[in-house]
Amino acid sequence: MPESHPLVIDGLGHTYGKNRALEAVDLTVSVGEFVSLLGPSGCGKTTLLRSVAGLVSPSEGSISIDGRSVNASGAVIVEASERGVGLVFQEYALFPYMTVAQNIGYGLPDSNPERVDGLMAVTGIADFADRRPSELSGGQQQRVALARALAPRPALLLLDEPFANVDAGLRADLGRMLKRLVRDEGVSVLMVTHDQDAALAMSDRVVVLGVGPRGGRITQDASPVDIYERPASPEVARLGGAALLLTAQALGHTATSAFGTLSLSEPRQGDVTVVVRPEQAHFSAEEGGDAVVESLQFHRTHHRIRCSTGVGEVDVVVTNDESLPAIGDQGFVTVRGPVWAFPST
């Protein structure tokens, strides 16, 4: 008998009054897979997650969790409390009157101190077992919320903007801990986030939702590498990170553009839009050049400079072993290596 998927969504749609939030969304999460939902505000990411959790009853479509139908055609089949999913909210939603250990053990059907102690150890909060949530930092509270969600060993973990209230300096550490923990626990993950760096760094797949005329819809479902290097649309390209979208004329493996002849990663014909990422752009200082350095930012291993050009602003990566230009310097921007292009609309 084939193994059940932790999550199968088929034709999901939802309407709030006259406002259409989701339109015909199909999504499957496989065993042990980490999937992120990425998209602009209003695209339906949170509605989709809350529908899976049972906090929203979708108007259309069906949801199955671990082989069991929980929603179908607008009807609730399994209530939220019986779905067996772990849920971590953006606001943590910890019980303020309980200790850390009590919060983690709350969802267990029977007392299991060993399970609670084990989760506190791997999440790095064992020293805070007797503290209340108000005595913890945001990052520590998020670790407690994660441990509590995982305590009953759910097949599916739902994360709602898990890094939104965590200091930027701690996000990378928390992300690594989360990725390691869910892998060790063997749990599948569906994460909603606005944090493109977290989505690309942590996910096996990234599902991009866009705002369509009839609500949020999937515009690309692919690996993080494909989302960044081979976006399906200008909207996906921008969600993946800094990018200059440049019109060009393609003829097979090359295209002519305002930056000269560009090499394409896949052959195209006719009018195209080229995606230029900062690491693909190069600035050469030269008096009288048509590009001007507007700003510089230090990023540990490199600087990122922003240049104004005749076709718009472009970000350029300058490594620490390259000469760093000054603000106001003139020069030329060139594009290195093959770039991605899709047909212009």
User: What number is the average pLDDT over the span 167-178?
Assistant: 80
User: What number is the average pLDDT over the span 131-156?
Assistant: 92
pTM, to two decimals: 0.91
Does 242-335 match 7-84+154-234 at the fold level? no
- Bridging pattern class, strands 312-319 and 291-298: unpaired
CA angle in degrees (0–180, nearest 5) for 242-203-217: 70
Tens-place pLDDT, residues 189-223: 999 998 888 899 999 999 999 988 788 999 999 99
pLDDT, residue 3, reads 60
pLDDT, residue 22, reads 93
Judge contact between 133 and 141, C-beta under 8 A: yes
The mean-pLDDT minimum among 61-65, 78-82, 128-132 falls in: 78-82
User: What number is the average pLDDT over the span 61-70?
Assistant: 94
CA angle in degrees (0–180, nearest 5) for 161-165-168: 100
Judge contact between 80 and 53, C-beta under 8 A: yes
Give the separation between CA 215 and CA 217, rounded to whole angstroms. Answer: 6
Instruction: Give me the CATH topology for the region 242-335.
Output: OB fold (Dihydrolipoamide Acetyltransferase, E2P) (2.40.50)
User: What number is the average pLDDT over the span 184-189?
Assistant: 93
On the question of pLDDT at 274 being above 70, the answer is: yes
Give the separation between CA 207 and CA 235, rounded to whole angstroms. Answer: 13
User: What number is the average pLDDT over the span 1-26?
Assistant: 87
Tens-place pLDDT, residues 89-107: 888 789 999 999 999 999 8
Q: Give CATH for domain 7-84+154-234.
A: 3.40.50.300
Q: Which two tokens stand for residue 218?
A: 């999937």
pLDDT, residue 208, reads 95
Judge contact between 333 and 283, C-beta under 8 A: yes
pLDDT, residue 1, reads 40
Judge contact between 151 and 84, C-beta under 8 A: no
On the question of pLDDT at 335 being above 50, the answer is: yes
Residues 6 or more apart whose Cβ sits within 8 Å of residue 22: 12, 13, 14, 44, 47, 48, 51, 58, 215, 216, 217
What ranges do the domains of the chain cover?
7-84+154-234, 242-335
221 in helix, strand or coil? Answer: strand
Tens-place pLDDT, residues 288-321: 899 999 999 998 889 999 999 988 899 999 998 8
User: What number is the average pLDDT over the span 235-245?
Assistant: 91
